[in-house]
Structure 1
Amino acid sequence: MSQAPLVLVDGSSYLYRAFHALPPLTTSKGLPTGAVKGVLNMLKSLRKQYPDSLFAVVFDAKGGTFRDEMFAEYKANRPSMPDDLRVQIEPLHASVRALGYPLLCVEGVEADDVIGTLARSSAAAGRPVIISTGDKDMAQLVDGHITLVNTMTGSVLDVAGVHEKFGVGPEHIIDFLALMGDKVDNIPGVPGVGEKTAVGLLTGIGGGLSDLYQNLDKVPALAIRGAKTLPAKLEEHRDAAFLSYELATIKIDVPLDVEVEALVCGEPDRDALLALYTEMEFKSWIDEVQRDAKRAGQDVAVQAPQEVVEAQYETILDQARFDAWLEKLRQARLFAFDTETTGLDAQQAQLVGVSFAVQAHEGAYVPLTHSYMGVPEQLDRDSVLLALKPLLEDPAKVKVAQNAKYDMNILANCAIGGDFANGIQMQGVAYDTMLESYVLDSTATRHDMDSLALKYLNHTTIGFTDIAGKGAKQLTFDQITLEQAGPYAAEDADVTLRLHQTLQQKLALIPSLQAVLSDIEMPLVPVLAKIERQGALVDAKLLGVQSVELGEKMLELERQAFEIAGEEFNLGSPKQLGVILYDKLGMPVLNKTAKGQASTAEAVLAELADMDFPLPKVLMQYRSLSKLKSTYTDRLPEQINPRTGRIHTSYHQAVAATGRLSSSDPNLQNIPIRTAEGRRIRQAFVAAPGYQLLAADYSQIELRIMAHLAQDEGLLHAFRNDLDVHRATAAEVFGVELEQVTTDQRRSAKAINFGLIYGMSAFGLAKQIGVDRKQSQAYIDRYFARYPGVLAYMERTRAQAAEQGYVETLFGRRLYLPEINAKNPALRKGAERTAINAPMQGTAADIIKRAMVAVDNWLTASGLDARVILQVHDELVLEVREDLVEQVREQIRPHMSGAAQLDVPLLVEVGVGANWDEAH
């Protein structure tokens, strides 16, 4: 009878793959559980297939490994682990152990190395081994005793299977990986050598990496693409190739505290499983555990949920009750207020009802325009609004809301008596729970009410889809019965009040954050609301002409692509494109998708274009024009508000971690301005008759903030004397006189100046300015020698961030850095880069916000016929009456430059034109 195989499961591989491949799953409290369920399903299935086998589930341990010490940038390209995945690791580990499966995590090495060591030692003893993984690197372990099984795809790889899949046998997989490199793990490899070239080199020479480098003279004769130029490229990147070989080699001699024979599955811990499955709400598995326990004669029970306070909510349908609540609001020191509407667009949604709360666990909803069949009689809409108007417009009556800007816009657009000029101008909103959470910790959670209630109150709110349904049949709020709408709306006000009480206590402990909220974020709310309502005028006809022209250019590019490919294909199909690029034209495969397909992503096309392949260049142009057409020239005319004739973007204060504003519907932050086609989009944003557009833009604000923070004499001197800072940097770095700096030197200096702000490495800078890594590092070293204050600032900031766990802007805004002390070097270095950049980017965000408030106050007080219509990056765009342009041009500068006091001037550049492009 044959021996049962040892089964080794690559738990880390499956955790990531389950997270990305399976639909997201969360509990009623918002806890993500999809990856846990996916991996446990796979383990249970695998265990059924091999019931008599020794068994181990192996995970990566926390912290770095010997590979990080070998190559500091190993896995540096990997993004930080998503929070929704991170929170699933411990529950998964606990569940694996509770199921009785041996679980291994060994510090200093990866799961691959643990698996490799166990697999090879078992194979050497004659025991068959099954490695369950989706990782291609494991193919190097395959031999007559070791087989790979991918339970997510059903594939099995033995020796023949490896050869069929990769084109080389298991004995040359490491050589294959060393030549190709690995984008995911940031193993460098040899640039330009893809899958086909690597196979051609190894099979053509008939050996591994060492054999190849001993026979470079034979490479030009090989029948592979670019064979004549390959020897020079291989020689140039010899060190990288052999480093990659070491990085890709799985260790098979890891000292382990466990013997193979000890990897026996034990009995499940049903009490632990039941607690875990209950927390993760795996209902069918809870039943399964209870059934198994009953059969085994055990007694287990699900824990009862904690008792919650019963809320008292009221739906107001008669005048007496409304009057009573109105008096409550008048007497209250503070009350929470919320609106219910027919949609999310604050410029077009209709008011359906209002809700308020004065004390925790109590709330009231006043329905106004519910319109389903059989709806009870509601109070008169205009009468209710007129009664509330004095309260809502009283700046002395303190209010709190969740996303108050939306409510402000709804009320301002709410025509009373059919007159839009008679809308409610809400004042006195001193607190916004969305912004309280955002200022407290921008990265701790999402800042919507449902997420905040779960995090800070341990309360699961009534979901909108619970009462309105989903998809095409989803009801608008006016169609929802009062029995359901009342508790939902009253809860919104109640939870807002309770959140404020909790969050305000936390903010009060940190005066600097309290000041950011009260001095920057809250004053900005009504300003943004006003800008959104004002909107921007767009020339729909001009956009239509641009759409036609873009379409014609796309057709021409499509014809060029067909000519290069030698056949017609769908440029929008990754599958068809992959066949053309890699199978037909033989381009190197630089990266693969999660499903193992050769990638055709933008970054890959850019790299192929850099290698002078013509088709990727054409495809990138095509994609760029297609994005402009679909996102802007086709879409913007559809977004013109029929009542105002303008486009009204929505600004978001609580999205970007650093404090930057973002916008949506449309997103005006991402209109490309480096291309003529992108700039033409801005030409469609026009001034109304009798007006001009004025664009006021901070010049090089983040570099100026860097000079202030670093107190570097060289940078301070350049800005104080109004020098071209990039030219000054070029003179210092390249050791030439200021007037001798060439255009290319200035361009490289600009890349260095901005690159260092964003923590760019020598590797990244080399790629950007087209030099080798050694030269790039020399430029950086010379820069720091010339600007020692910058280096000192960076080192000081890293140390402070590591010590306190956050960095601050000049105004006290914090960005917390949970990975600043991570043992994993890639995660730690990423956090360090953020630590250096965030004070600059965050301070720039604070300054433009303060400037917006200052400019709005000035325009309001002066009564000038001018108004802000757009905010993008470091720029304000105003619509100004023609005869006031010069006055506004001169007066806006001091209001913007005075938004912060730095040790260098804050320079504001102002342009004027009939459209945004002219003014910019």
Structure 2
Amino acid sequence: MQSSLPSVSTPALPSAVERPTLLLVDGSSYLYRAYHAMPDLRGPAGEPTGAIHGIVAMLQQLRQQIGAEHAACVFDASGPTFRDEWYADYKAHRPPMPEDLRAQIAPIHEVVRLLGWPVLEVPGIEADDAIGTLARIAEAEGHRVVISTGDKDLAQLVTDHVTLINTMSRESLDRAGVQAKFGVPPDRIVDYLTLMGDAVDNVPGVEKVGPKTAAKWIAEHGSLDAVMAAAGRIKGVAGENLRRALDWLPTGRRLVTVKTDCDLSGQVPGWPGLEALKWGSADADGLLAFYTMHGFKTWRRELEGQSSTSGEPKPVAQALPPGASAAADAAAPSVPSPPSVPGRVGRYETVLTVEQLDGWLTRIRAAALTAVDTETDSLEPMRARIVGISLAVQPYEAAYIPVGHDYPGAPEQLALDVVLAALRPWLEDASAAKVGQNIKYDTHVFANHGIPVRGYRHDTMLESYVLEAHRPHGLASLAERHLGRIGLNYEDLCGKGANQIPFSHVDIERATTYSGEDSEMTLQVHAHFAPEFAQEPRLQEVYERIELPTAAVLARIERHGVLIDAGALARQSQQLAQRMLQLEQEAYEIAGQPFNLGSPKQIGEILFGKLGLPVKKRTASGAPSTDEEVLQELAADYPLPARILEHRSLAKLKGTYTDKLPQMVNPSTGRIHTNYAQAVAVTGRLSSNEPNLQNIPIRTAEGRRVREAFVAPAGHRLVSADYSQIELRLMAHISGDANLLSAFANGLDVHRATAAEVFGLPLEEVSAEQRRYAKTINFGLIYGMGAFGLATSLGIEQKAARDYIDRYFARYPDVKRYMDDTRASASAQGYVETLFGRRIVLPEIRGGSGPRRAAAERQAINAPMQGTAADLIKLAMIAVQRTIDEEGRASRMIMQVHDELVLEVPAAELIWATEALPRLMAGVAALKVPLVAEVGVGGNWEEAH
């Protein structure tokens, strides 16, 4: 079994064989980690159960993987501790525990005890202090100690026989590990923490001193005491801050020091003595009742099944498969327990013969669903070639078919053409159901070998994206979060940085484990998500009607690519270079000397040192900031910041586009092929990268010229279709405001109409300036902008901005009602939804700080419109592609940017395209206002606008 806890075997622990082991779990840390890692699960009575499930899964995994004779799960007791007596503001800024977590504390303590874990909760001290005390006692009695925690403070406890493990980050810290991670040895962690302080516990440190400075000072001077003694010699702002903190630091050190001599008498039956912490047997009857009460169906069935097959229940550590999923507990059939194979989670077969391959072909043809994954020689989808393929049809079993491992001594493998010829009929069979993780990538990989894969029914990345868009969607995260499993990762096999090896050089046995895990864990993750979708029909529709078909369309868009005029870009690069050189000379003249326009340090010296410009804000190190916001403010009054800003923008344009785009042309196709990231933005919007087509600046003439280099081939034109004022139309639809609906229904210029309403004028009397104000108000309010933001945008007094907003809401009262109602509902349920049911979770709207909560409220107002707009453009892409296919058209979609589709259209289909595109895009949804798509035609992208 590939351990999810590297510390079991790595690093080696001195005398681990001779020493018995004490496993200490920082239960309080686990509480919060489990609460935030798990979905919002509910028991039969509607009670929250996510943290309970997470705790059980983590503790079971630990018990299975750590060979310990003694253990304790340690929790913070309620009430004040001795640190509160030392410092009245200790932990004063911590937000209260979420009510849904508080409700799970007692059940968690109960189930931990039922599982056979000794539970420790000592009034008056923190869990850290109890752990520290136990660790020192155990070490003195000849034990090896393993502490499972995510708390950096406990690194001070590490010795030759005390190790930390973090199951979430897969991290193991012995002495060398602490030094490598923090830059100081374990016996200097207290000094390190004292200098930095602890914002979570409201323990001040030295202002603006972070990890690097703290480690540097300790390395230079040896200890906190020596740093304090040298305070007078430490220069700069940091030295000044250190000197101001000298009186406080002894108290800070006292607060961050974990006590290791607490009195634990009376806290554990049989104490003192570690025998009081021997692991007990699980209470199967108690667990059965607990699982039934809280709706953990899979675990209940596991216990019932084992009770019925033997007179006595087996230990629960064997009864619970690692990673029995949360949703499976609620509704889905249980998956088989992992096979009992020493050192392995599952059975993974390396396929090296035709007979083995035939056997797996028989299995996948008979399977209801097969997970398929590729291992390749590149992460670039259009260039990646297959090194191996893995298949899985049930949990914990998989096959890996290596075809391109070429390291010295590699076993003989089946030829790639033989394997693909055998798999091709199944891969191209639309009735053969397949599941993958990021199926768009594998679609490209097989297409690179001439195989159009059909039959993809599910994509676990997209399932996660629809169900939990605010969380990571990589397979490693999904498996850890939902299955409680951590497999090999890519860096385990290939290394990283300059020393990384290609996958073709990875040992085939390890590659089999890695790829086999990918396939069979993908199968299990899908099994986890399936019952969740069954309970969320609107989300299921978003997944099946929008996201899955979009993935197929995007693969085709990416594969076709875009033609560019490399010569035009080269000319633009030359012109940009000339203008940048001119700007440099002008900047030198204003400054009175040459300097590096790319150096923030030199810019700061010139602007604030030599020229004496006002300092607007400072960096974390105390230096005057020269970021874009500061330069924009200064540019309004001073010429040099304006030159620097223009130089920066042209340098970025040149480096990102005019120089780079020609280098990105695929030599096989003569085109550039962007990658559309589908599972990134929580609102559902796509993003593109390599190259990023969405960030080409269009507000400057130079930026617009870049789009002139995106051209149509001979005999074709580019056709651009762009939704008109889509978010304003959605605001009208969602809010139902009569005046806003009327403006769109009558085909009015909505910004002019708004200006007429706000300023009380006839439409024909609205000035250009008033229309500009109204446009800013319209779009600003969509993004939740308040009076301060509007005043900043318009350059007016805040009182005037508030007056405009009040007038706006007086004329559009239902917009105000929508905003108020949305804030309230988002705060109550923690999320908002698009018109199609896409759920956008807002984690900060209930538990965030004031500014974060305000930002979440602004997002709550805009997200339903931005998310609905994202859904609409995806539905439009699907509709357009379906029509092209059904009618046998030669037109091809080549780009999707924001609310715009761009097609490459042969001359013979231009009339069809200009008529069909607005009709298809308007027809994907029926709103209270007309959906309008504006169409343009040109020889290049800019001209098509």
Do both proteins adopt the same fold according to a TM-score greater than 0.5, normalized to the shorter chain?
Answer: yes
Please state if 1:916 is matched with 2:941: yes
Q: How has the CA–CA distance of structure 1 residues 436 and 165 changed in structure 2, closer, same or farther, with 3 Å as cutoff?
A: closer
1:407 alignment counterpart: 442
- Contact 1:352/1:370 (CA < 8 Å) preserved in 2? yes
- Contact 2:436/2:460 (CA < 8 Å) preserved in 1? yes
Please state if 1:267 is matched with 2:259: yes
CA-CA distance at 1:388 after TM superposition:
1.4
Within a 5 Å distance, the mapping from 1:347-746 to structure 2 comes to 347-414=382-449, 423-443=450-470, 445-610=471-636, 612-746=637-771
- Contact 1:148/1:158 (CA < 8 Å) preserved in 2? no
Residue from 42, 52, 61 that aligns with 2:93 = 61
Please state if 1:907 is matched with 2:924: no
Identify the range of structure 1 (869-878 vs 498-507) with the bigger mean alpha-carbon deviation: 498-507
Give the partner amino acid of 2:468.
D
Give the partner amino acid of 1:657.
V
Please state if 1:315 is matched with 2:317: no
Q: After superposition, give the CA deviation of every residue in 1:579-613 in whole Å (9 maximum; x if it has no partner).
A: 11111122222222222222111111112223x12
1: CA distance, partners of 2:463 / 2:257: 49
Residue from 842, 854, 857 that aligns with 1:829 = 854
CA-CA distance at 1:95 after TM superposition:
3.9
Give the partner amino acid of 1:911.
G
CA-CA distance at 1:371 after TM superposition:
2.0
Q: How has the CA–CA distance of structure 1 residues 823 and 877 changed in structure 2, closer, same or farther, with 3 Å as cutoff?
A: closer
- Contact 1:336/1:358 (CA < 8 Å) preserved in 2? yes
Q: RMSD value over aligned CA atoms?
A: 3.6
- Contact 2:129/2:262 (CA < 8 Å) preserved in 1? no
Q: How has the CA–CA distance of structure 1 residues 688 and 265 changed in structure 2, closer, same or farther, with 3 Å as cutoff?
A: closer
Please give the secondary structure, in 2, of the residue aligned with 1:594.
coil
CA-CA distance at 1:326 after TM superposition:
0.3
Mind listing any 5+ residue stretches in structure 2 that lack a counterpart? 1-57, 62-84, 97-124, 134-192, 218-226, 245-250, 265-271, 281-315, 323-337, 339-344
1:889 alignment counterpart: 914
Q: How has the CA–CA distance of structure 1 residues 98 and 579 changed in structure 2, closer, same or farther, with 3 Å as cutoff?
A: farther
- TM-score w.r.t. the length of structure 1 is 0.70
- Contact 1:727/1:749 (CA < 8 Å) preserved in 2? yes
2: CA distance, partners of 1:666 / 1:650: 8
- Contact 2:232/2:239 (CA < 8 Å) preserved in 1? no
- Contact 1:147/1:156 (CA < 8 Å) preserved in 2? no
Give the partner amino acid of 1:402.
Q
- Contact 1:55/1:264 (CA < 8 Å) preserved in 2? no
2: CA distance, partners of 1:267 / 1:299: 22
2: CA distance, partners of 1:168 / 1:586: 23
- TM-score w.r.t. the length of structure 2 is 0.68
Residue from 312, 322, 326 that aligns with 2:361 = 326
- Contact 1:693/1:912 (CA < 8 Å) preserved in 2? yes
1: CA distance, partners of 2:773 / 2:415: 67
Within a 5 Å distance, the mapping from 1:127-146 to structure 2 comes to none
2:796 alignment counterpart: 771
2: CA distance, partners of 1:164 / 1:475: 44
Give the partner amino acid of 1:318.
T
Within a 5 Å distance, the mapping from 1:5-404 to structure 2 comes to 58-63=90-95, 95=128, 152=213, 267-268=259-260, 308=322, 309=338, 310-404=345-439
Residue from 804, 816, 821 that aligns with 1:796 = 821
- Contact 1:55/1:265 (CA < 8 Å) preserved in 2? no
1:232 alignment counterpart: none
Please give the secondary structure, in 2, of the residue aligned with 1:811.
coil
2: CA distance, partners of 1:390 / 1:334: 16
CA-CA distance at 1:268 after TM superposition:
2.6
1: CA distance, partners of 2:665 / 2:832: 41
CA-CA distance at 1:412 after TM superposition:
1.2
Q: How has the CA–CA distance of structure 1 residues 93 and 712 changed in structure 2, closer, same or farther, with 3 Å as cutoff?
A: farther
1: CA distance, partners of 2:130 / 2:919: 65
Please give the secondary structure, in 2, of the residue aligned with 1:651.
strand
Mind listing any 5+ residue stretches in structure 1 that lack a counterpart? 1-28, 32-52, 65-91, 101-130, 174-258, 273-295, 415-422
1: CA distance, partners of 2:639 / 2:129: 51
- Contact 2:458/2:548 (CA < 8 Å) preserved in 1? yes
1: CA distance, partners of 2:500 / 2:234: 50
2:332 alignment counterpart: none
1: CA distance, partners of 2:461 / 2:819: 32
- Contact 1:149/1:156 (CA < 8 Å) preserved in 2? no
Q: After superposition, give the CA deviation of every residue in 1:662-691 in whole Å (9 maximum; x if it has no partner).
A: 011001110010100000110000001111
- Contact 2:570/2:659 (CA < 8 Å) preserved in 1? yes
Q: How has the CA–CA distance of structure 1 residues 623 and 148 changed in structure 2, closer, same or farther, with 3 Å as cutoff?
A: closer
Q: After superposition, give the CA deviation of every residue in 1:95-119 in whole Å (9 maximum; x if it has no partner).
A: 478669xxxxxxxxxxxxxxxxxxx
2:878 alignment counterpart: 853
Q: After superposition, give the CA deviation of every residue in 1:634-666 in whole Å (9 maximum; x if it has no partner).
A: 111111001000000000110001000001100
Q: How has the CA–CA distance of structure 1 residues 779 and 365 changed in structure 2, closer, same or farther, with 3 Å as cutoff?
A: same
- Contact 1:56/1:263 (CA < 8 Å) preserved in 2? no
Please give the secondary structure, in 1, of the residue aligned with 2:648.
helix
Q: How has the CA–CA distance of structure 1 residues 161 and 758 changed in structure 2, closer, same or farther, with 3 Å as cutoff?
A: farther
2: CA distance, partners of 1:693 / 1:503: 41
1: CA distance, partners of 2:929 / 2:838: 21
Q: How has the CA–CA distance of structure 1 residues 750 and 96 changed in structure 2, closer, same or farther, with 3 Å as cutoff?
A: farther
CA-CA distance at 1:375 after TM superposition:
2.1
Please give the secondary structure, in 2, of the residue aligned with 1:697.
strand
Identify the range of structure 1 (156-165 vs 749-758) with the bigger mean alpha-carbon deviation: 156-165
Q: How has the CA–CA distance of structure 1 residues 919 and 166 changed in structure 2, closer, same or farther, with 3 Å as cutoff?
A: same
CA-CA distance at 1:760 after TM superposition:
1.0
Q: How has the CA–CA distance of structure 1 residues 760 and 161 changed in structure 2, closer, same or farther, with 3 Å as cutoff?
A: farther
2: CA distance, partners of 1:404 / 1:808: 26
- Contact 2:394/2:523 (CA < 8 Å) preserved in 1? yes
Alignment: residue pair count? 688
Give the partner amino acid of 1:474.
Q
- Contact 2:206/2:241 (CA < 8 Å) preserved in 1? no
Q: After superposition, give the CA deviation of every residue in 1:874-909 in whole Å (9 maximum; x if it has no partner).
A: 000000001211221111111111111111001100
Please give the secondary structure, in 1, of the residue aligned with 2:846.
coil
What percentage of residue pairs aligned between the two structures are identical? 51
Please give the secondary structure, in 2, of the residue aligned with 1:339.
strand
2: CA distance, partners of 1:158 / 1:567: 38
2: CA distance, partners of 1:349 / 1:550: 34
Give the partner amino acid of 1:510.
E
Give the partner amino acid of 1:343.
S
